[in-house]
Amino acid sequence: MPCLHSEALDFMESASATTGASPAAGTEKSYLRETVTEPPGVRDMGWFFSPLWSPRSKTRSRFGGGGKGDQVEAWLDDHSDFTRAYFLRRASAVSGPQEESPMPRFPRSSSDHSDLLRKAHHRRTSSPPISSHLNMSSLMDRLKPLASNLRAPEWMDRSSPDILGCHSPCSPCSLRSSRCSFFSNRPLSPVWPCCPDLPHSRHPLCPTTTNTAACGNGECCPWMLELLRGGLSWMGSVAELCQGAVLHAGELLSADCCSLSLVKKDCGGRNTLEEVIAPTALGCLSEGNLCSHEHLELVKSIMGCVLATGSPVNLRDASEDPRFDFDDDQSKIRTVLSVPIKAHRGEVVGVMIMINKRDGCDGSVSVFTNMDEKVLSNHMDVLGMVLDNIQLYESSRQEAKRSQALIEMAQVLSMEHRSFEILLSKMAATIMPFTRAQYCTIFIPSQQTSVVEDQVSFSRVIHLECEELGSTCQIYRRQRDISDIDQSSALRTLVAMKTLNMSKSSEESIKSLICCPVRNERSENVIAVCQLMNKKSRDSDELEAFNRYDERLLEDLSVYCGLALQYAQAVQITEERRASIEVTQEVLAYHITAAESDIQALQEATIPSVESLNILDFHFSDFGLPEDLTTQATIRMFLDLNLVQDFNIDYKSLCQWVLTVRRGYRNSVPYHNWNHALSTAQSMFAMLKATDELQTIFSRLEILALMIATLNHDLDHRGVSNSYIERSQQPLAQLYGHSSLENHHYNLCLFILNNTGSQILSGLSAEDHRTVLHMIKRAILATDLTVYMERRTEFFSLAKKSRVNWKSEKQKDLLRSMLMTASDLSAITKPWPEQKRIAKLVTMEFFAQGDKEKKEFKIKPIDIMNRENSTRLPYMQVEYIDDICYPLYKAVSRLFNTCSPLLKGCKKNRENWMHLTEKADEEDCKNSSCVALETNKNNEEKTQTEE
């Protein structure tokens, strides 16, 4: 049977005549140095083809003449593994360095070639329908053409010529007398099946009549060479590729009937065979049709055995093989040769079968020899490699398309949208062109939906339709009622919680449909169902089934839809909470703002002087001071510091602000109330007025910030400490994490400053406004004793210096913080009657917290909060002065001598508390009290020594 190019025959004759050397000298290296022109693709293929195609050839081989060449060929015939390995190594270099490199190979874990298998129409000559056992896929998943458009994920083309038709140019009758060659000598493109840069032919890869020698009489097989050199660059489909392989191999081995199937994975992940080329007679059969139902069942059984074992099956007498059941009706099948089609890693990707080898022209049946088996196996190795590369290319193309779709959906998700429906509509419109779906529907379940199928329901749908307008398509969102859309598939998906891919065929049309659940990432609940319906064919108006790439794209869409749903829900919750906060702030502003009559009364009142109010005295006490005078004293401090004049503060706004701050303190709290705030502000005012140096160090903006901070530093104090708030996991602790109370005080201060009518900072520039708010926050946070303990060492070091430069912002911030603490603790410096009254109020507050800790946490409070230690109050007060107060006032007095009354008042009160400890010790001298007394005396002596 002729199959070689004439130029290849001429080349072999020339090479044989030129070398005339011994077989040892006829190596590949020396052979490549010949000056004879070789056809592209024949060069470097070497001796691989010679022993396979011409076991009885009389043509001289390249290894030299005589018996030694025959011995080399015989050795290669007997070592097929070496032959295959050599071929795979040499195949990658067929094109040469000047040609494009073939598709790169990527690792694959399976031999699933399901995506090569799509719908195709086979016109068979006297062939009955194939039973469902061999034809594993439904109408939706049959052989489809390779489209030239890169966006098409399918392989086959409806417009392809009928395969193996009787009137085809490559029909079996014409092939029996034809010689084998191909039209194209172009190099193999990296994108073999559908390279857009190369012509696209609809003709199957089949032998054509040329003036060449038989395939068995030469050393090069043009069918293989054309595949490796570029035959696929003008191929139309995998069906045509397989058709050409069947025709060539069947003609080469003189088979009466041939069939080819490719491997497909079923839903369970098992490998099954999908028929690509139906069993078709190639010769003029004298015994009738071999493609009856019984014969086909036997063919399926043999091919299934080859798939399971991965080894060839060569039946020289089929009826005598015990593995297969033969009956009298199957006597027409005499000899069978079936070989696996393997990819480069050895996995089986298909099976080829040949039935009844013809012997000569009389049509008698002969057996398939071992050489026939090797020839067919090597042909199928080439086919397997090509199919593998096609699958790899298609996978990479589909991944590129999927990545593009994901990027576009991510861009849609990142944009701001007016509504949730618009967001989902844009996402659905993004994926529809990639899947060529006619309809896309997103079903949103009702909140009352349960997992019972008869109880599930959907509350609304988002429905999109694709309308073709010439070469383009337009996607519209249609308003559809939920009752107008078939929900059955979406309900099944909602209950099963997994992707559903199905097709329904009727006499009128084919309906393809795919549904995917949309899950909530956190709860894994199905929060929606995405459905695509009616996939349109690229080259016709017919519908086809959705493939696994469409499934992946829809599952990706479901992930983004889930994110969109969660994003929409989060936005909705945020908006609701924002609205709730605004309502709460409005209510708070109404109740916290002083009555208009109180504001007007304060605005019209005559503010007493600083002398009459005694607010310049460090020993000022608000005990017994009327409530009206407390607010007037506050106004007086702002007026006397010229803050109203310097910062253009509206006087009515100042009155409203002072009254609002007073209402911000809880009267139920014994100590941390408005009176404490006023006392703290008065201490700061007294230090600023008594010390000219402080007014020189601080700017006018800093003085304003300090006065506002002192009045607001304990706003809305709850009478408990930060530790209690954190231990009880109150919202304040969750909101701020650290210094919870102080942060709350500042935020409420900010709220009042921004409240309508209380905006005393409205006269500041934007920059000054930001600066003063920052200083207020730093000053209020500094009243946390934890912050004070962390920073006081640095301050004490500054106080020991003979001269301090306060130009540094860091040092000024430290000074403001220490003065805030000194003002906050100034109750310890007040006259003894005031000190005893304040100590009692503090004790009430601390003991109340200790009682809560006992009740709620079942723990013993610390000594200062334990009511059982009430008799030890003098000892605890002395410890408090020694550890916290005295070192601070000593440092402040060292820096600013005018502040020494604070230190003196602290020392005086320590003496009074120490006297009480001695008195208590005389009444009841316990070991613990005696030890404490001795310790306190030592501390007192140490203090006197330092002074």
SS (H, E, C) 255-304: EEEEEEEEEEECCCCCEEEEEEEEEEECCCCCCCCCCCHHHHHHHHHHHH
Given 5, 122, 672, 745, the catalytic residue:
672
DSSP string, 95-154: T-TTSPPPPPP---S----GGG-----B--SS-PPPPTTT--S-GGGS--PBPSSTT---
Asked if residues 535 and 543 have their Cβ atoms less than 8 Å apart, the reply is: yes
Asked if residues 337 and 311 have their Cβ atoms less than 8 Å apart, the reply is: no
Asked if residues 865 and 852 have their Cβ atoms less than 8 Å apart, the reply is: no
Asked if residues 302 and 335 have their Cβ atoms less than 8 Å apart, the reply is: no
Q: Residues with Cβ < 8 Å from 448, sequence gap 6 or more?
A: 457
Question: How far apart (Å, rounded) are the C-alpha atoms in residues 896 and 695?
Answer: 12
Return the residue matching tokens 């290669």. Answer: 76
First-to-last alpha carbon distance for the chain, in angstroms, is: 123
Q: Is 714 annotated as a binding residue?
A: yes
Region of residue 335 (phi > 0: left; psi between -120 and 50: alpha; otherwise: beta): beta
Residue type, 69: G
Asked if residues 560 and 409 have their Cβ atoms less than 8 Å apart, the reply is: yes
Q: Is 877 annotated as a binding residue?
A: yes
Q: Which two tokens mark 788?
A: 């004070």
Q: How far lies 515's CA from each of 107, 316, 555, 804, in Å?
A: 31, 51, 9, 77
- Strands (E) across 446-564 are located at 458-469, 472-478, 500-505, 510-519, 526-536, 543-544
**Pick from 593, 590, 861, 516: nearest CA to 721:** 861
For helices 627-640 and 700-712, the axis angle rounded to 10 degrees is 170
Question: How far apart (Å, rounded) are the C-alpha atoms in residues 67 and 503?
Answer: 63
Residue type, 421: E
Which run of H or of E encompasses 336? strand 336-342
Question: How far apart (Å, rounded) are the C-alpha atoms in residues 824 and 318?
Answer: 107
Q: Is 672 annotated as a binding residue?
A: yes
Asked if residues 200 and 236 have their Cβ atoms less than 8 Å apart, the reply is: yes
Q: Is 824 annotated as a binding residue?
A: yes
Phi, psi at 227, each rounded to 5°: -65, -45
Q: Residues with Cβ < 8 Å from 734, sequence gap 6 or more?
A: none
Question: How far apart (Å, rounded) are the C-alpha atoms in residues 920 and 930?
Answer: 10
Q: Which two tokens mark 585?
A: 């702030």
**What residues does 313 pair with on adjacent strands?**
338
Residue type, 922: E
For helices 238-252 and 222-229, the axis angle rounded to 10 degrees is 160
DSSP string, 707-742: HHHHHHTTTT--SS-HHHHHHTT-HHHHHHSSSHHH
Question: How far apart (Å, rounded) are the C-alpha atoms in residues 214 and 210?
Answer: 11
Phi, psi at 423, each rounded to 5°: -60, -50
Compute the half-sphere exposure of residue 836: CA atoms within 13 Å on the CB side of its CA: 6
**451: how many CB neighbours lie within 10 A of its CB?**
11
Which run of H or of E encompasses 588? helix 548-592
Is 672 tagged catalytic?
Answer: yes
Asked if residues 238 and 113 have their Cβ atoms less than 8 Å apart, the reply is: no
Degrees (nearest 5) of the Cα angle 333, 336, 337? 160
> Which residues are identified as catalytic?
672
Annotated binding site for Zn(2+): 676, 713-714, 824
Annotated binding site: 672-676, 713-714, 824, 877
